[in-house]
Amino acid sequence: MTAHRINSPYYFSPLVLLLGLGLACLLTPVRDCMAQGEKRETVTLDLQKATMADVLKEVEKQTGHRVFYDTLDLDTAKIDIKVDRAPWPQVLTRVFSGSDLSFSEDRHGRVFVVKGAAIATDLPPGFFDKPVAVEKGFGGGADSIRDYLEDAGKTPVSTLENKLFVIGEKTPGPQKGIANLAGYARDAKTGEPIAGASIYIENPRIGVISDQYGYFSLSIPRGRHILNIQSIGMHDTHRLIVVYGDGKLNIDLVTQVMTLKKVIVSAEKASNVRKTDMGVQKLDIKTIKQVPVVFGEADILRVMTTLPGVKTVGEASTGLNVRGGSTDQNLVLFNDATIYNTAHFFGLFSVFNPEVVKDVELYKSSIPAQYGGRLSSVLDISSREGNKKEYTASAGIGLLTSRVNIEGPLIKDKTSFIVGGRTTYANWLLQDLPAQYKNSRASFYDLNLNIAHEINKKNNLYLTGYMSKDRFNLNDDTTYGYGNKNVSLKWKHVFNNQFYFTASTGYDRYDYSIQSTENPVNAYKLGFNINQLYLRTNFNYFLSSSHTLDFGVSTLHYKLHPGMYTPVGSKSLVVPDTLQAEQAEESAIYLSDHYAITSDFTIDAGIRYSLFNYLGPSVQNNYAPGEPLTTETQIGTTTYPSGKIIKTYGGPEYRVSARYVLTDNLSLKASYNTQRQYINMLSNTTAMAPTDIWKLADPNIKPQSGDQYSLGAYRNFKNNTIETSVEVYYRDIDNYLDYKSGAQLIMNHHIETDVLETKGRAYGVELLIKKLTGKLNGWISYTYSRTELRQNNPAEGEIINNGSWYPADYDKPNDATVVGNYRFTHRFSVSVNATYSTGRPITLPIAVFEYAGSLRTLYADRNAYRIPDYFRTDFSMNIDGNHKVHQKTHDSWTIGVYNLTGRHNPYSVYYVSENGAVNGYKLSIFGSAIPFVNFNIRFN
Amino acid sequence: MSKKRIKILLCFFSVVVLWRCKDPYISPYKSPVTGYLVVEGYISGNTATQFTLSHSIELPGDSTIPTEDGATVQVEGNDNTVHPLVGQGNGVYSSIDTLALSPQVQYRLRIGRSNGEQYLSNFVQYKPTPPFDSVSWVNTDGAVQIYANTHDPTNNTRYYQWEYYQTWEYNSSEQSLYMYVPGPPPQVIWRPDSLQIYTCYQNLNSTNLLLGNTTKLAQDVVYEAPLVSIPPNSVQISVLYTILVKQYALTADGYNFLSIMQKNTESLGSIFDVQPSGTVSNIQCLTNPKEEVIGWISAGTVQSQRIWITRAQVPSTYYYECQKPDTILGQDSATITNDFGSSGIFTPIFFVAPPPPPGEISGWDANYSGCVDCRLQGGTTTKPSFWIY
């Protein structure tokens, strides 16, 4: 018999069992304890569909041996057994075969059935220098003597961990071959799915990570296994399983409240060494909330900028520059919905409500084949599903914003909802601005609604609604407004254990408007919007333990209104002017295979074919062939009817990544990917502005394309509690758009004459040291990177910087960040965040001249200089109320200081002509240390 | 939340948060030596044509702008007419009379520098400027905003530029009736009207590029294009104020050139700044095509309009407050030499003749010169030729 050793902390200590049994024996009527005078050693059984307990009872009855066991330990499977006068140890050996139960008999003929090593009913041989016979096949024996003191005193916490789960129909005989186990990992308290949980068996080493629905599917050899389940923030657990065939197992995980007790050492928790994908950063909302940010408002995008390879041009911008990409090269998905503008309040906040977000995943080098349409990265933000068990609410009050969230079950354990809203009352702050901004006003809000519904075990529906709105004016009567509106519906269907699919459909909209009515003759309103309707399917097929296939098709219909300029009021002489609507269809088909060649060598290979059709109705400007696109070289127009395919772009995109594990905690990864982007943001401001417009590729503007090579080494230390990684990358970008001098981007009927197609290149090294467990946690990141552009093609009409490479606006070569959190107690922790980066490039004047009554500055080469370096330190304290579980409200405070040193970090430097003279200024968004306080309360 | 917590919260709310600040910036970079030729002016068919030639200097722009004198400058028409301009010094070249130009002809500017470098502009369209409808002003709580209004019934002008020349009369705090003369002997004499220092005139010309277009409007109408704003109760409208506004029609390219210059030099400093960019002039160096030249040559007519605003029209409460009450100074020659003469700290106002009024002494009633001499506020006592009162 092969006795599996279980080294779980919850292991049922045999010593305790013995004591307990002894006590039980004392309390049981004497005649029972003594009714063991005559004992027969054989049994005759003829049982069908009997449980182990039935068999044990029968053995007890027939032999007179008292059998002690815990019913929770016993296998739930039904067995058929037929024996005639067989020795009882033989029968038990047979019944327990394939389980980890073992038994032993003491000198009084009592039989103890326990899990794992059999109970030593005698002191070890030689203890009293007296040999003790150990029967073969029975428990006991030298190797079964263990030091149980380690676990002594522990009582079983989770009975589920000691129970044996049978997967599939029980079949007699040896179990060979592979079977599939699938199920969901959920939070035991709220019923919400747990994404990213690691589910694995040790021998052979096979593991899988649960997906965003908490779903996992694992192909493992038939037989008995310990299934380990680990997830950050949850108690590690395991399930004893015996696999006879394909089957299902759902696992409930318990939130880890006792974060200080000890560092849970785990093999998979920090699995960056073992994962195939590279350049992927995942942060859960708990980690995000620890990082101090301005005004104490937890901000997903700000925290992303602390990661290597992710930058932003300054404080007033939530636009991310990932590995030298521009801000429009990131696909920002919020539960499948594309968010076009991620900024609230001049870019000081991001549009994502931290109370609704579950986690954020950033793909910056190996982008899965199911995603496409942007060159640099995919930022996948998942929202929480809402509590499936009970109603809860939370509220937060900060200096600038307040938020309320309500969640709960619509149908208990089946349907849950979460509703969240945020708004600002920031106008009081704007009154303290310098006089020129005194009459500024700004407000925003955002609303979230998520509904998750389980139709049945195989079908789930998810509905997401999102809306954000911003309005502001900067000291004059010009009012700016913009907003996102998104709704998506996703259906998940499980065909069988190995095969499931999701289909999602939805509508995304981004719009802005600018209105000015002060001058009645010029009163106008300018409007812009993007609308897109999409359908995406994704099939996930666990072909075998070494192959997992992902494939699907998607289609996306764009409709853009690039500009509507209309009069306001009866006195306005403004001529209504509308840029013609743009429409296009972007479709893709993809297939990718996760191929585990050996357990150490894994390849993810994918191909995506994307196709973009620019559709009529449209009137397209034609230009003389071979000439630069200018208004002078335009030679007429062509009119296309509705639905006519005007121009098609497309091609294959390759996504390959490979991982080779050198040792248990060291691996190498490489990846190559190509991307195509058919929609560009047109902006000649450095920061993402609310007036930036988006433009589809069309006959005159080619789509951007790019490829990226990256290589990385990953090493974990101290039992995987410290992750380190080094990644290098090189990127090429084609048809990146830059702008001619003085380009007119708004309400331009021939925008192609104002843009330039440039080439881009980016390269860099990213270092990361991360510790996400223990009292002290956080990360240190450093990036060296360059991003350069070049326009040396005279056919474009204008050569920039004499055709040599020039740095992009967001080229910040050195960038280092330290994020640290120290938990003093369960209720009190302190976070510090420090960041340094090279100043971004800027175009500075080269000379001064006099014109129109004033000295003025002359500009020449783009981005030839840099603003001063950036350095900032933030500090915050998180104070939780008491942790009593059964109280009506739980509250917490966050108090901190942003920009602790009060350094005037430059946002930009500029020269301006004032009263005839030229003055140079350094503009800082924050001119002092900014204290903040946030109060959060949760209601049950 | 308990009451105590609300209190704490309010306390934090009241923390004044200062954000966004501007510090002076001095570029650590050495700017290259440029010395590019800067050409500014307008080929005018209804006033004297005038161009100014100067050179660009290094950052931060605190040295004197060098002017280009001794050059030959002429306006050429594509009908082969040549109109030479005459150097006036200080880099200024102008026509003696109004040039006889024709709306059907295109014009260009040719410059020959004394060092032999030759410059030539593109031919530009002669674009007549429509007259003003009015130069109007609006008084909002004492602040006066001045606007330009015009229209072109043919809808052809579309692009406009304005310049203004402000002049105002103002008074010092006290009127001096006497003046010091060094002599010998040094003495205080009756101040003649011609040397009065109570009423001064000051000029201030536009330093911003004032541009406007009507391309998005159904009619070529400029309504209340803002020119200049005068703060409430300021010295400008303390007595009498006048503004002369000049209006120029521009071509689309000329407008774009100035618009980029405006964005590069006047509109920076916001969060969403447009990147400054290079400008391309319509005048080039023939002898060294790589040499940059700054300026845009336009041709057409100039319209001008002057309006007057009196103190009573606003009305204003402006008064130049003297910090000190008058003081009586002795009549001895040492006192008048020290206080009125060499130091010039004091200026005599009137004479307190003996016997003095009760509680006073006799002598020169005087005050600090800054309170008495209006020229010390920056103006001159010379009445401009166009002054109507």
Percent of chain B with pLDDT over 90: 61
Give the model's confidence band at A397: pLDDT under 50 very low, under 70 low, under 90 confident, else very high: confident
Of the listed ranges A503-517, A832-846, B103-117, B360-374, the least confidently predicted one is B360-374
Task: Find the range with the poorest average confidence among A431-435, A438-442, A509-513, A721-725.
Answer: A431-435
pLDDT at A455: 92
CA distance A32 to A49: 28
pLDDT at A148: 37
Yes or no, beta carbons of A923 and B269 under 8 Å apart: yes
Q: For residues B69-98, give the mean pLDDT.
A: 94
Could you tell me which residue, B240 or A209, shows the higher pLDDT?
A: B240
Rounded distance between C-alpha atoms, residue A834 and residue A832, angstroms = 7
Residues A440 and A472 sit within 8 Å (Cβ to Cβ): yes
Query: Would you say residue A174 has pLDDT above 60?
Result: yes
Mean pLDDT of B343-348: 83
* Cβ-defined contact of B276 to A859 (cutoff 8 Å): yes
Instruction: Name the pLDDT band for A123 (thresholds 50, 70, 90).
Output: low
Quick check: is A264 in a domain?
A: no
Evaluate if residue A114 carries a pLDDT over 60.
Answer: yes
Query: How confident is residue A27, by pLDDT bands cut at 50, 70 and 90?
Result: very low
In a domain, A268, yes or no: no
Q: Answer yes or no: is pLDDT of A834 > 90.
A: yes
What pLDDT sits at residue A119?
Answer: 65
Please name the fold of domain B37-123+281-297: Immunoglobulin-like (2.60.40)
Average pLDDT, integer, range B349-368: 82
Please report the residues numbered 102 through 131 in chain B whose beta carbons come closer than 8 angstroms to any beta carbon of chain A. none
Tell me the average pLDDT of chain A: 83
- At A9, the pLDDT band (50, 70, 90 cuts) reads very low
Whether the upstream peptide bond of residue B184 has omega within 30° of 0, thus cis, is yes
Residues of chain A contacting B278 with CB distance shorter than 8 Å = 741, 859-860
Which of A241, A256, A271 is the last residue before a domain boundary? A256
Average pLDDT value for residue range A92-102: 76
Least trusted range by pLDDT, from A689-693, B212-216, B333-337: B333-337
Neighbours of B356 (CB within 10 A): 12
Pairs of residues, one from chain A and one from chain B, whose beta carbons lie less than 8 Å apart: 237
More confident residue, A24 or A622: A622
Is residue A8 situated within a structural domain?
Answer: no
What is the per-residue pLDDT for B187?
83
How many Å lie between the alpha carbon of B293 and the closest alpha carbon of chain A? 11
Do the domain assignments include residue A273? no
Mean pLDDT is highest, among A167-171, A365-369, A888-892, for: A365-369
Contact criterion met (CB < 8 Å) for B221 and A399: no
A447 touches A433 (CB < 8 A):
no
| Per-residue pLDDT at A97 | 74
Same domain assignment for residues A217 and A315: no
Let me know whether A109 and A172 are in one domain: no
Asked if the model's pLDDT at residue A460 lies above 80, the reply is yes
Domain CATH for A248: 2.60.40.1120
User: Where along chain B do its domains lie?
Assistant: 37-123+281-297, 178-198+323-377
A120: domain CATH number?
3.55.50.30
User: Which stretches within chain B are classed as H helix?
Assistant: 3-13, 252-266, 333-335, 369-372
Within 8 A by CB and 6+ apart from A12, the residues are A70, A73, A114, A115, A156, A162
Residues A125 and A211 placed together within one structural domain of the fold: no
Q: Chain B: give the shortest CA distance to residue A857, in Å.
A: 6
B1-53 pLDDT, tens digit each? 333 333 333 333 333 334 457 889 988 888 888 899 999 999 999 999 999 99
Out of B13, B209, B221, name the one closest to residue A852 (CB): B209
How far apart are the C-alpha atoms of A261 and A234, rounded to whole Å? 13
Residue A22 has pLDDT above 80, yes or no: no
User: Among A288-297, A871-880, B85-94, B143-152, which is the least confidently predicted range?
Assistant: A288-297
Q: Are residues A96 and A220 in the same domain?
A: no
Given CB atoms, is B3 within the 8 Å cutoff of chain A? Answer: no
Q: For A133-163, write each residue's pLDDT tens digit.
A: 333 334 333 333 333 333 333 333 335 777 7
CA-wise closest residue to B346 among B356, B338, B358, B354 = B338
Q: Which range of residues forms the domain containing residue A607?
A: 280-939
If asked whether residues A184 and A73 sit together in one domain, one would say no
- The terminus-to-terminus CA distance of chain B in angstroms comes to 72
What's the pLDDT score for residue A883?
67
Number of domains chain A is built from:
3
State whether B65 and A850 contact (CB < 8 Å).
yes
**How many angstroms separate the CA atoms of B242 and B146, rounded?**
11
Q: Is A72 helix (H, G, I), strand (E, B) or coil?
A: helix
Q: What is the pLDDT of residue A6?
A: 37
Domain contains A9: no
Residue B158 has pLDDT above 90, yes or no: yes
Q: pLDDT digits over A308-317, tens only?
A: 999 988 877 7
Taking only residues 434 to 453 of chain A, the set having a beta carbon closer than 8 angstroms to any beta carbon of chain B reads: 434, 437
pTM, two decimals, is 0.79
User: What local confidence, expressed as pLDDT, does residue A857 receive?
Assistant: 94
pLDDT at A249 over 90: no
Q: Which helix (H) or strand (E) holds A765?
A: strand A755-771
Q: For A75-79, A197-201, A687-691, which range has the lowest pLDDT when averaged over its residues? A: A75-79
pLDDT digits 0-9 by tens, A803-824: 899 999 889 999 999 999 998 9
Mean pLDDT value across residues A98-120: 75
Same domain, A147 and A195: no
| Domain annotation covers residue A271 | no
Q: How many CB atoms lie within 10 A of CB A588?
A: 23
Region label for A413, one of left (φ > 0), alpha (ψ between -120 and 50) or beta (otherwise): left
Q: What is the CA radius of gyration of chain B?
A: 28
More confidently predicted of A170 and A567: A567
Residue A158 lies in a domain: no
Residues A235 and A286 in one domain: no
- Asked if the model's pLDDT at residue A828 lies above 70, the reply is yes
> CB under 8 Å to A843, separation ≥6 — which residues?
A859, A861, A862, A863, A864, A865, B275, B276, B277
Q: Tens digit of pLDDT for each residue in B171-216? A: 998 899 988 888 788 888 889 988 999 999 999 999 999 999 999 9
Task: State the pLDDT at residue B33.
Answer: 83
Rounded distance between C-alpha atoms, residue A877 and residue B179, angstroms: 73
Does pLDDT of A87 surpass 90? Answer: no
Residues A473 and A547 in one domain: yes
Please identify among residues 869-888 of chain A the ones whose CB lies closer than 8 Å to any CB of chain B: none
What is d(CA A242, CA A174) in angstroms, rounded to the nearest whole number? Answer: 12
Q: What gap in Å lies between CA A746 and CA B250, rounded to an integer?
A: 22
Higher pLDDT, A345 or A791: A791
**Which residue of B5, B12, B14, B20 to mutate against A (max A Cβ within 10 Å)?**
B20
What is the number of H-type helices and E-type strands within chain B? 4, 25
Classified as helix, coil or strand, B262 is helix
Q: Do B163 and A397 touch (CB under 8 A)?
A: no
Strand A111-115 and strand A67-68: pairing? parallel
* Residue A256 contacts B, CB cutoff 8 Å: no
pLDDT for A155 equals 36
Indicate yes or no: CB of B275 within 8 angstroms of CB of A904: no
pLDDT, tens digit (0-9, with 9 covering 90-100), for A730-762: 999 999 998 888 788 889 999 999 998 999 999
Q: Quick one: A167 and A146 in the same domain?
A: no
Torsion of CA A940, B4, B8, B11, to 10 degrees: 130
Instruction: Tell me whether residue A156 is in a domain.
Output: no
- pLDDT at residue number B20: 56
Residue A114 corresponds to which tokens in the numbers above? 């326990």
> In the predicted model, is pLDDT for residue A120 greater than 80?
no
CB A372 within 8 A of CB A437: no
